Amino acid sequence: MNGTSTELAAPPPGARPEVARPEVARPDPALAAELGALRVGPAVLATGAATGPLAGTATVVKDLFDVAGVPIAAGNPDWLATHPVPERHAWAVQRWVDAGATVVGVSHSDELAFSLSGTNVHYGTPANPRAADRIPGGSSSGSASAVAGGLVDYALATDTGGSTRVPASYCGIFGIRTTLGRVPLEGAVALAPRFDAVGVLARDGATLERATLPLLAGSDAQAPAPAPRGLVLAEDVLALADPEVAAAVADAARQLASALSLDFSTTELAPDRLADWRAAFMARQMPDIWATHGEWVTSTRPSFGPGVTTRMADASGANPALGAAADEARAEVLAALDRALSAGSVLAFASASGPAPRVDLDAASKGALRGRTIAMTCIAGLGGLPAVSLPLAEVDGLPVGLCIVGRPGDDELLLAIARAVDIRWSADT
């Protein structure tokens, strides 16, 4: 359903003429209902500027980001009931609005972003347009569903332990976790602030770059993106994935390097430390989550789904002193990256340990899958690294993401690779 243009009156003499506002394509309400991706909308919640790199486009934002005048639930009705309606936009939302984006919805999130599945006992599970019987992935489930289903071309997300990269992989779309701290999280509900980063999901690489650049600090005077030079496949990290996923991703990595004329090589990033890195990530994440939300959980006693209930209980008993191991792990991650990557090169492995699991997967199997996936996704979290999931592989007709990771600040390099990817994407595939 398209909006209608309005005829503007002539400006008075000497006044600066108004810029005609591009017409914004409004999302189809029937499609929105079919996807179940939005908690609020589709409706115009914030009108984008008339000019800018995103002028004339529509987007949705994850149910963690403040949108002025719109109650935010963070995936939980008790949060919705106990927090005031925001009076201003979150920093990232305002940045997009200033760049021309019109916000037309608030997309579903897992509860407090504390999950990777995309299921929500309160608000339901958004559709995975690539596989109706599979989960969309979380915690940016609604944003991924809205993009993969064609409701919008790009959407705002977050990524702590993979919450942008995993749904991008499951739904067969592009997604970036930005370098820690490059995009301010002011006005967004935190989970574990030492790992939380802004993410963007998009239907193609060019759109991912177009939507992300306005968010990156200093992007008003953006230097040309560096030319990608090499791709290094981390075979020990890739081995954490299902064997068929590892094979498909390795093949996709070789094909990508060939298509973009990148030097291709393999490495063992840290074969004896990957399990310790995951443990260090969890040792820091869990007490940070309790420090962020413990007071509210204790005073409000909110109703959580079973998985979040268990994990929040674990967080409440976590020993903050053990989090110091994450500092050592971070230094190891950065040193390993320096050893593996020359200038202009990126690391590659799978975005998730398997394709999207079935909606009815039992809790034990879901937990095992989550654990193996976090062992891969935590590398970017520990290092504060930018990472992009590219929808370049499939297993039994299900999408699997190829994850490329750069050093801190290499966001533009990763985006340049995403833009260069020549892939036909369709919501019907």
Q: Residue 267 corresponds to which tokens in the numbers above?
A: 């490495």
* Count of CB atoms situated within 10 Å of the CB of 173: 31
Taking the C-alpha atoms of residue 116 and residue 362, their distance in angstroms, rounded to an integer, is 15
Q: Is 162 left (phi over 0), alpha (psi -120 to 50) or beta?
A: left
Question: Which of 172, 150, 52, 168 has the alpha carbon at shortest distance from 100?
Answer: 52
- Dihedral of the alpha carbons of 284, 285, 287, 289, in degrees to the nearest 10: 160
Q: Residue 295 corresponds to which tokens in the numbers above?
A: 């007071």
Taking the C-alpha atoms of residue 98 and residue 174, their distance in angstroms, rounded to an integer, is 23
Token pair 């369709």 in the structure block, residue: 426
Q: Which residues are catalytic?
A: 62, 139, 163
Q: Residue 418 corresponds to which tokens in the numbers above?
A: 């995403």
Taking the C-alpha atoms of residue 409 and residue 162, their distance in angstroms, rounded to an integer, is 18
Q: Cis link prior to 139 (omega < 30° from 0)?
A: yes
Burial label, 236 (beta-carbon count in 10 A; 0-12, 13-18, 19+)? middle
Q: Cis link prior to 226 (omega < 30° from 0)?
A: no
Q: Residue 174 corresponds to which tokens in the numbers above?
A: 């592009």
Question: Which of 206, 89, 217, 110 has the alpha carbon at shortest distance from 154?
Answer: 206
Q: Are 113 and 158 in contact (CB under 8 A)?
A: yes
Q: Residue 379 corresponds to which tokens in the numbers above?
A: 């590398």
